[in-house]
Structure 1
Amino acid sequence: MIETSRTSLVLFTAANAGLVLKYYEDNKVHLAPWEPIRDSGYQTLNNFKVMGEQSEKDFEADKEVRLVAFNKDQTQVLGVCNFTGIVKGPLQACFLGYSIDKRFEGQGLMTEILDAGIAYIFANLKLNRIMANYIPANEGSGAVLNKLGFEREGYARKYLKIAGKWQDHVLMSKLNE
Structure 2
Amino acid sequence: MEDFMFTGEKISIRPFTQEDVDARLKLQTENRHFFEMYSMTRQDNYYTVEGQRELIEEYDNNFKNDQEYNFGIFTTAEKKLIGTISLFQVIRGSLQSAFIGYFIDKENNGKGYATEAVKWIVEFAFTNLNLHRIEAGVMPHNLGSIRVLEKAGFHKEGLAVKNVKINGKWEDHQVLAIINPND
TM-score range, shorter chain: over 0.9
Among 105, 108, 111, the residue aligned to 2:112? 108
> Which residue number in structure 1 is paired with residue 56 of structure 2?
52
Query: Which ranges of 4 or more aligned residues in structure 1 deviate by more than 4 Å?
Result: none
The answer to whether structure 1 residue 79 and structure 2 residue 83 are counterparts is yes
Give 1:150 deviation, angstroms: 0.6
Unmatched segments (≥5 aa) in structure 1:
none
Distance 1:13 1:88 in 2: 26
Aligned-partner Cα distance in 2 for 1:28–1:111: 22
What RMSD over aligned residues (CA atoms) do the two structures have, in Å?
1.3
SS of alignment partner, residue 121 of structure 1:
helix
CA distance in 2, matches of 1:21, 1:73: 21
- Report if aligned partners of 1:15, 1:52 keep a CA contact under 8 Å in 2: no
Take 2:40 and 2:58, find their aligned partners in 1: how far apart are those partners?
A: 20
1:121 aligns to what? Answer: 125
TM-score by length of 2: 0.92
Shift of 1:161: 0.5
Gaps (5+ residues) in structure 2?
Answer: none
Matched with 2:70 is 66
SS in 1 for 2:47: coil
Give the Å deviation of 1:49: 0.5
Cα distance between partner residues in 1 of 2:58 and 2:162: 29
1:79-114 C-alpha deviation (Å, 9 max, x unpaired)? 111100111111000000001111111111110111
